[in-house]
Chain A
Amino acid sequence: MTQDAAATPLLSCRHVGKSFGALAAVRDLSFDVGAGEILGIGGPNGAGKTTLFEVISGLNPATKGAIVLDGQDITKHAPEQICHAGVARTFQLNAGFDSMTARENVLVGAYFGRNNRAVPTLRAGRAAHEAADAALEMLGIADRADKVTGKLPVLDRKLLMMASAMATKPKLLLMDEPVGGLTAREVDRVMDAVRAIKAAGVTIILIEHVMRFLVRLSDRIMIMHHGEKIFEGLPTKLLDDRTVVDVYLGQGASERLRSFMENTHG
């Protein structure tokens, strides 16, 4: 922890590849994420962004390359081991435990996510309950803690997913399209939430199609296309890149994004 964050990246992917038979969803991808950083990933549909998350979180292990988290090789680890190593993830779709209350959802993360519970105790201890409440509080949904998850509105469910992920006390949080399908006001809410998570010292990798969201939050941006990296750099450099504009953003969207960035940064 005392080491220089830039010198030792928290997550380091080296020549990572994921093939489904003849189809290579992720190809020879190498990148680093420094501790405390937000890396934004964009790219057209089918670029392999979500597959990359599947690979890092261990649900669908890499077929090539190595993934190192905090000096520990996690390439071939099981999803729960990777969770215990400090990686949490939120999904594109609402993936909660629908018939449990919000608090119970978070409690699963708080209880099972931090330690390897080979033989669970009967009751989740005070520590787990406090951690769950803290996570709910942090995401601002503590007042809805006793509502059944399946009945919560979309925004609350997205925030709940983040709270459950935070309850596992991650070093690295993978967020897959956190603002998909939300209104402008709700997007602001999620943006605040992401900033709060970053302020808590968690490193974040963000996949998002909503470019305004991505450029405002990310310290660095990576654009993927056909499973490969076509751009990696500062958000301000994104629009200067010919390939990104041609392949992903298009001329019109680039112009709108440029004026948006000038307005917010100027």
Chain B
Amino acid sequence: MDVLIQIVASGLTLGAMYAVATIGLSLVYGSLNMLNMAHGAILTLGGYICYAAIVHAGLHPALALLAAAFVCALVGLMIYFSAALPLLRAENFETNIFIATIGIGSVIENLMLKGFGPYPIPQPLAVDGQVVIGNVHIPLQNVFILGVAIVLMVGVAILLQRTSAGRAIRATSMNREAAQLMGVRVGRIYAQVLALSGALAAVSGIMISSIATLTPVMGGDPMLKAFIVCVVAGLGNVYGAVVAAIALGLLEAATQYVLGVRWSFATLLLLVILVLIWRPYGLFGKQQVVRL
């Protein structure tokens, strides 16, 4: 019983972090058909900015979190104006933007390496204390991460489902041309989605670095897992991505306990292969890819 609680607790935390990292990636793919390979670097940047804002600028942690989200939203906008917008005018957007964002990600990563050094730094945004369920001590940090993730996911869901801006995002991802002809300014939608994705990546980066440590390359692993979640859920399917992220988090926690840490990633990849053989368009994807 205690083991089960332990697995569920750490699985949910992992899943929640993956979910936040994935939502942004999935939104961007859903509306622009763009695989943002700089997502991992933006995520790391969010962690570092939060660190710098607390340690160097002396900001309150909550403000630091907002500052990081804001800066990363700007980076998202920058990617739109410097890469996506010019490339959208040319052929082969999907391939070109894929390569372009690898480049952007690598620039950001090296700037962080230059600015903060290669050594791991602890994330100062931390919540002390723990709750006890049965005989299991669960750090409040995990509860905090889960809480933030839930708030963000509900926020994004409300944005997409209930607001006019969200309706435009969904309309654009379902049918770009029809949306344009109904007066939706798709360029702005793309910019908004990339900014939102950047802000979400920042928060996810802060969460991840708060239970691990900050290094310039820490974004690679969560981004890879976010891609796995996206593919398993069906690329561009935001709600499916949340469910798949939490399921994969739980699976990872369970494998780590039962088989050991070194098997967790292999199991994850094996699962992806099986899912793609069984349903090539993803668990929640439909054959004729209906997004969002």
Contact B185 A99 (CB under 8 A): no
Contact B185 A117 (CB under 8 A): yes
Determine whether A84 belongs to the interface, using a CB cutoff of 8 Å to chain B. yes
Provided the pairs A100-B170, A100-B174 are in contact, do residues A124 and B180 lie with their beta carbons within 8 angstroms? no
- B7 CB to nearest chain A CB (Å): 34
Contacts of B178 in A (CB 8 A): 91, 95-97, 164
Contact A112 B182 (CB under 8 A): yes
Contacts of A124 in B (CB 8 A): 164, 167
Determine whether A137 belongs to the interface, using a CB cutoff of 8 Å to chain B. no
- The B interface, classified by DSSP as helix, strand, loop or mixed, is helix
- Which chain B residues numbered 100 to 142 have a C-beta less than 8 Å away from chain A? none
In the complex formed, the residue of A with least CB distance to B180 is A79
Contact B164 A117 (CB under 8 A): yes
- B90 CB to nearest chain A CB (Å): 15
Contacts of A121 in B (CB 8 A): 164
Contact B164 A95 (CB under 8 A): no
Contact B164 A123 (CB under 8 A): yes
Contacts of B177 in A (CB 8 A): 59, 79, 91, 95
For the side of the interface on B, what is the size category? 20 to 34
Q: Which of A91, A98, A107, A123 has the most CB of B within 10 A?
A: A98
Determine whether B179 belongs to the interface, using a CB cutoff of 8 Å to chain A. yes
In-complex Cβ contact of A116 among B170, B171, B185 (8 A): B185
In-complex Cβ contact of A150 among B184, B185, B290 (8 A): B290
A117→B179 CA distance, assembly (Å): 13
- The A interface, classified by DSSP as helix, strand, loop or mixed, is loop
- A1 CB to nearest chain B CB (Å): 22
A114→B183 CA distance, assembly (Å): 7
Determine whether A118 belongs to the interface, using a CB cutoff of 8 Å to chain B. yes
Q: Chain A, 67-106, contact with B by CB distance < 8 Å: what is the 0/1 string?
A: 0000000000011100110001101000111111000100
A122→B161 CA distance, assembly (Å): 11
A95→B181 CA distance, assembly (Å): 11
Provided the pairs A80-B184, A88-B181 are in contact, do residues A107 and B167 lie with their beta carbons within 8 angstroms? yes
Contact A168 B290 (CB under 8 A): no
- A159 CB to nearest chain B CB (Å): 15
- Which chain B residues numbered 132 to 175 have a C-beta less than 8 Å away from chain A? 162-165, 167-168, 170-171, 174-175
Beyond known contacts A97-B179, A111-B164: 16 more, CB 8 A cutoff: A59-B180, A79-B180, A80-B185, A80-B186, A91-B178, A97-B178, A99-B290, A112-B185, A113-B183, A117-B183, A120-B163, A120-B165, A164-B178, A164-B182, A165-B182, A168-B182
The 8 closest A-B pairs by CB, nearest first: A113-B183, A79-B180, A83-B183, A112-B183, A109-B182, A97-B174, A120-B164, A120-B165
Binding site for B on A (CB under 8 A): 57, 59, 78-80, 83-84, 88-89, 91, 95-100, 104, 107-109, 111-118, 120-124, 150, 164-165, 167-168
